Amino acid sequence: MKIIYIKLFLRISISLGFLSAVADRFGFWPEESSAWGNWGSFLEYTQLLNPIVPKSLINPIGITVTITEIIFAILLCIGFKTSLVAKFSGFLLLIFGLAMSFSIGIKAPLDYSVFIASAGAFGLSTIKEKYLEIDQLI
């Protein structure tokens, strides 16, 4: 398989992963397949993963992470600054996986493939070939 197709697959997969998580926070997925299902449940989970953070900062953290995931998803999807955005995505996912590991145990990030997604994002950041990327047009 050509590397350009692997790169496109990684870009779209990571992008859709971010968008799916955001959609879940806003209740766009059916309840039986949701992790949170609504903003309030998402914030409770955010507090669980960040037990030392004051409760007053949880909503701003949730908003910041959600906006970041939307921006990363869009930039990866269109292929703008893919290498840089992929690195940042890898770090965001790694931080999330580590927070899960330290607060609720290693099983959750392994079951949800958070570390695999992080590794995929870091791998994506190393692929230099361009294919269907907006960077080619600029």
pLDDT in tens, the chain (138 residues): 688 889 999 999 999 999 999 999 999 999 888 899 999 999 999 999 999 999 999 999 999 999 999 999 999 999 999 999 999 999 999 999 999 999 999 999 999 999 999 999 999 999 987 767 776 655
- The tokens of 119 are what? 């590794």
Question: CA-CA distances (angstroms) from residue 21 to 6, 29, 37, 38, 126?
Answer: 23, 9, 10, 11, 25
Q: What is the pLDDT of residue 78?
A: 94
SS3 of 2, please? coil
Residues in contact with 76: Cβ distance below 8 Å, sequence separation at least 6, in sequence order:
11, 12, 14, 15, 18, 82, 85, 86, 89
